[in-house]
Amino acid sequence: MSKNCSDTSQKSRFQTIDLFSGCGGFSLGFQQAGLYISAGIDMNEQAATTASYNLHWKNGENKTHISGDVATHTKEDLLPELDLSNPFLVIGGPPCQAYSSIGKGKLKSLGEERAHTNDSRGMLYEAFINKVLEFNAELAVMENVVESVNYGGVNIPETVCRILEKSGYSARWTILNAADFGVPQLRERVFVTASRKYNVTKDILPFPTHQPPEGTLSRGSRRIKKFMENDYFLEPNSVENSKLPYWITAGEAISDMPTLKKSSADKYEFYPMNLNFPYSSEAQNEYQKLMRRKAQQNVVNGHAFRKTTRDFPIFERMKEGDNYLDAHAIAVNLFNDYCSAFGIDELRDKELYKKEKRKKVPPYSTLKFKDKWKKIDSTKPCHTLVAHLSTDTYSHIHPWEARGISVREAARMQSFPDDFFFQCGMSEAFKQIGNAVPPLLAKSLAESILTWYEKVNSENFNHNKKEAEQVK
């Protein structure tokens, strides 16, 4: 094992295995909490390369995340040089497409035989459990979307906890919102935590580092009472009458980013992912300082954004928080103004009218695609980033520039530091970011689990010691 694991603290003893690792957001957070990432695996080769580079290679470590199927790789495949003297901590987020509302809709559109309940990815939690048991992991943490609580009538986190309990583990699940832990994004996710040695209690969960503005309730927080009816659910921790800072906003997250397209009239430029730009200003707040964690760093890369020529003028006229209904109305007005300026009549010039309308007005239904477009509100945390960003960025339009967000801006919203480099093209990078666990959320969870573990481990040691002394 690496020298990183050579000291005697509990956190350095654990060998952390990341299953379905994606680009490494979950691992990065656990690494930032002081844990050693021993191995990782993901089906996506480019995502595995991104994880390998940022977690290992750039630090001079000769270790590579495997590209492959979790279900078919043994623990010897993941760790050829097994060190059984130190315990294992298994983390992972099985693919969520079968559970998520976007994934369900896409599968349904492909026919009944492609219904989400027929999607094999919906059962990959079993591969996660199998690896936990194969490694005889001392601790395990699984992440997924909130929609996993109802997969064809089955509550997946409850099911995972029940199976693990039958296998000798104590397991519980909860809902955590990334915004509560310093991530400038409203992103609620299920987390299952399990321990082989100790009873999992609410003490294992992190306390928020940030709080919502007064009166703000997230969708997940409104469902807590209902979730409490489940056998294995743990109510997330809260801080009453807290003086914690408010949620970090999208504007606070990216206000120091380079200006790329201030006006819709500006010529579009495609910027390669490795092209460096200077920041537009000094770091303006603590979050920006945290993301610019290298003191000497004064440039940043990853500024590719999509060329949507038809839509730049629409983006420019949208107000923060506007959706597709607003965008469509703006597009129709722009088109009507164009027709008036060039004397194009809908009845007299039918073919020309149709042709020009196709060029200027988005074709999506106003009945079905209300949330397909959304301009980020800079005064609030960003709405949830999704893997669909790999196809288009209409769901995340820049709050004050005439364009969709860039890769680096998406990474900022997800709490990836600016020196985290995506070893891939623009579309793949957006996908990796949308699929990731926010590192800051992962870090808070890892720290709370380790604090809990060390506490109960110490209490158990002292208890056993006291009993032994009494026997003497």
Q: Of 44-48, 77-81, 118-122, give the lowest mean pLDDT range.
A: 118-122
Cβ atoms of residues 346 and 336 within 8 Å: no
Kindly name the residue from 5, 23, 96, 161 that is annotated as catalytic. 96
**Is it true that 3-246+441-461 and 250-435 share their CATH fold?**
no
Binning pLDDT at 50, 70 and 90, where does residue 12 land? low
- The predicted model gives 304-310 an average pLDDT of 96
Q: pLDDT: is 265 or 9 the higher one?
A: 265
| pLDDT tens, position by position, 190-214 | 999 999 999 999 999 999 999 998 7
Q: Residue ranges per domain, the chain?
A: 3-246+441-461, 250-435
Confidence at 16, pLDDT banded by 50, 70, 90: very high
Q: CB-based contacts of 256: which residues, under 8 Å, 6+ apart?
A: 279, 280, 281, 282, 283, 284, 288, 292
Share of the chain above pLDDT 90, in %: 78
Is residue 7 pLDDT above 90, yes or no? no
Instruction: Give me the chain's average pLDDT, please.
Output: 89
Per residue in 439-448, pLDDT (tens digit) is 999 999 999 9
The model's pLDDT over 266-283, given as tens digits with 9 standing for 90+, comes to: 999 999 999 999 999 999
What pLDDT does 99 receive?
53
Which class is domain 3-246+441-461?
alpha beta
- pLDDT at residue 472 tops 50: yes
Return the CATH architecture of domain 250-435.
Answer: Alpha-Beta Complex (3.90)
Q: Specify the higher pLDDT residue, 413 or 85.
A: 413
Q: Does residue 119 carry a pLDDT above 50?
A: no
The sheet carrying 188-195 orders its strands as 66-67, 36-42, 15-19, 88-92, 139-145, 188-195, 170-177
Band of pLDDT at residue 118, cut at 50, 70 and 90: very low
User: In the predicted model, is pLDDT for residue 411 greater than 70?
Assistant: yes
* Confidence at residue 8, expressed as pLDDT on a 0 to 100 scale: 41
Quote the pTM value: 0.90
Residue 331 has pLDDT above 80, yes or no: yes
Tell me the pLDDT band of 220, cut-offs 50, 70 and 90. Answer: confident
pLDDT at residue 164 tops 60 = yes
Is 339 in the active site? no
Burial class (CB in 10 A: 0-12, 13-18, 19+), 19: buried
| Residue 41: strand pairing partners | 19, 66
Contact yes or no for 193/170 (Cβ under 8 A): no
Q: Name the one residue in this structure whose structure tokens are 């073919």.
A: 351
What is the per-residue pLDDT for 81?
83
Residue 368's region, left for phi above 0, alpha for psi from -120 to 50, else beta, is alpha
Average pLDDT, integer, range 97-102: 52
Residue 416: predicted pLDDT: 98
- Residues 381 and 249 sit within 8 Å (Cβ to Cβ): yes
Decide if pLDDT at 111 tops 80: no
- pLDDT-derived band at 72, boundaries 50, 70, 90: very high
